[in-house]
């Protein structure tokens, strides 16, 4: 007889929240910067063992203020050329590193067959906008130029990210359009913050303001750490949702979590893309928290992985631009 789930059993999200409460995990909005970085680092302990990939390569690419670390995941070869997926980690622009997404990206490389390049960037408050955005665009340009060296198709570049890294991925796509840089075939945005949190009009910021790990207060704090100047915070390179025109941007897969303050603004970004003729798909992960992509053993991650695999297959190489732009 098939087994049916117990409707009274706690969900994955309930289990995570209960575990964090038992561990005394403090609210993200109240942690100082060293504690915040330790707390984000602790998430790695819940990710399980690393899935083997054919090869992992550490390298660096030049950024506007120094070299940026990159970890490259090469899956077992498959017939035909492989896409290059440039990925940026999350952490509120103030925490996280390439280690934070090591286990999720191993699984992503194996599932999609893409060469995945995980790029680091400078963190707030030591660095603020536009520093992180410039680092992300520099990494995209440099890695696209090295695609063949890394075992990937130079004409099939994808950019993606999780949380703050998804904001940087979207901003890198806009910078590429504005500056004539590499043409991503696809942008993969996982729980992206795309507009300032303070005075936001989106309902999920009120419905999910507290009680689901990522809170409205935490997002207000992260935005202030990243872009303390309210005028600069309205720049589309800081807040991609506030652009007037979305035409010319790459097609998008936008993955959102049901229990996330950022859910509605991320889904609105997909609607703005479609309004301006850019294909966009939204996948809302039911029952998920903001951090679902960092927990590969949960059902939400598996759902997201299938969606990403399909999107990567669907969006093939793009025609080259006149020049591979470099950051100015």
- For residues 169 and 175, give the distance between their C-alpha atoms in angstroms, rounded to a whole number: 10
- Residue for token digits 């665009």? 137
Who wins on pLDDT, 271 or 43? 271
Q: For residue 4, is pLDDT > 50?
A: no
pLDDT tier at 322 (50, 70, 90 boundaries)?
very low
Mean pLDDT of the region 188-206: 97
Q: What is the pLDDT of residues 113-154, one digit of tens each?
A: 999 999 999 999 999 999 999 999 999 999 999 999 999 999
For residue 4, give both structure tokens.
């049916």
For residue 215, give both structure tokens.
């809170």
144 HSE (CA, 13 A, CB side): 28
pLDDT tier at 5 (50, 70, 90 boundaries)?
very low
The DSSP line for 201-259 is: --THHHHTSSSSSS-HHHHHHHHHHH--STTGGGSTTT-GGG-S--TTSPPEEEEEEEE
How much is the pLDDT for 319? 55
pLDDT tier at 17 (50, 70, 90 boundaries)?
confident
Going by the DSSP 8-state scheme, the letter that residue 45 receives in this structure is G
| Chain mean position to CA 101 | 10
Average the pLDDT over each of 23-27, 228-232, 293-297 and give the range with the smallest value: 23-27
For residue 132, give both structure tokens.
């992180």
How much is the pLDDT for 14? 80
For residue 119, give both structure tokens.
């790029």
pLDDT tier at 321 (50, 70, 90 boundaries)?
very low
Active site residues: 163, 260, 290
How much is the pLDDT for 37? 94
Helix (H/G/I), strand (E/B), else coil: 304: helix
Q: Where are the beta strands (DSSP E) in the chain?
A: 55-63, 66-74, 84-88, 115-119, 157-162, 186-190, 252-259, 280-289
pTM of the entire predicted model: 0.93
Treating both helix axes as pointing N-terminal to C-terminal, what angle do 131-145 and 164-179 enclose, rounded to 10 degrees?
A: 70
Q: For residue 10, is pLDDT > 70?
A: no
Q: What is the pLDDT of residues 64-109, one digit of tens each?
A: 999 999 999 999 998 999 999 999 999 999 999 999 999 999 999 9
Chain mean pLDDT for the chain: 92
For 54, 102, 149, 242, 255, the CA distances from 57, given in Å and listed in that order, are 10, 12, 12, 37, 28
How much is the pLDDT for 323? 35
How much is the pLDDT for 2? 35
284 HSE (CA, 13 A, CB side): 15
- For residues 139 and 68, give the distance between their C-alpha atoms in angstroms, rounded to a whole number: 8
pLDDT tier at 21 (50, 70, 90 boundaries)?
confident
Q: How many CB atoms lie within 10 A of CB 277?
A: 10
What's the chain's Rg over C-alpha atoms?
18
212 HSE (CA, 13 A, CB side): 25
Mean pLDDT of the region 37-47: 89
- Strands of the sheet containing 252-259, edge to edge, are 55-63, 66-74, 115-119, 84-88, 157-162, 186-190, 252-259, 280-289
How much is the pLDDT for 320? 52
């Amino acid at each position: 007889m098939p087994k049916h789930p117990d409707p009274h059993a706690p969900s994955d999200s309930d289990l995570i929240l209960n575990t964090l409460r038992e561990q005394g995990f403090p609210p993200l909005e109240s942690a100082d910067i060293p504690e915040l970085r330790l707390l984000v680092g602790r998430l790695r302990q819940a990710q399980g063992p690393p899935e083997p990939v054919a090869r992992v390569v550490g390298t660096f690419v030049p950024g506007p203020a120094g070299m940026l670390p990159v970890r490259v995941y090469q899956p077992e070869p498959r017939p035909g050329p492989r896409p290059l997926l440039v990925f940026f980690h999350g952490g509120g622009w103030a925490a996280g590193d390439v280690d934070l997404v090591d286990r999720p990206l191993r699984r992503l490389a194996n599932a999609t067959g893409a060469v995945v390049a995980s790029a680091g960037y400078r963190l707030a408050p030591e660095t603020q906008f536009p520093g992180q955005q410039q680092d992300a665009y520099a990494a995209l340009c440099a890695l696209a130029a090295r695609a063949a060296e890394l075992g990937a198709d130079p004409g099939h570049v994808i950019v993606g990210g999780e949380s703050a890294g998804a904001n940087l991925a979207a901003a890198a796509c806009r910078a590429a359009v504005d500056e004539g840089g590499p043409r991503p075939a696809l942008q993969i945005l996982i729980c992206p913050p795309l507009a300032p949190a303070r005075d936001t009009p989106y309902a999920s910021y009120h419905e999910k303001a507290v009680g689901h790990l990522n809170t409205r207060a935490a997002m207000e704090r992260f935005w202030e750490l990243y872009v303390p100047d309210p005028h600069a915070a309205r720049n589309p390179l800081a807040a991609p949702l506030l652009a007037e025109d979305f035409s010319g941007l790459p097609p998008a897969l936008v993955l959102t979590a049901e229990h996330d303050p950022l859910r509605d603004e991320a889904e609105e970004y997909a609607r703005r893309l479609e309004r301006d003729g850019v294909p966009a798909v939204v996948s809302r992960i039911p029952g998920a928290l903001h951090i679902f992509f960092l927990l590969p053993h949960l059902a939400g991650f598996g759902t997201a992985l299938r969606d990403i695999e399909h999107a990567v297959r669907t969006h093939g190489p793009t025609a080259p631009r006149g020049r591979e732009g470099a950051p100015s």
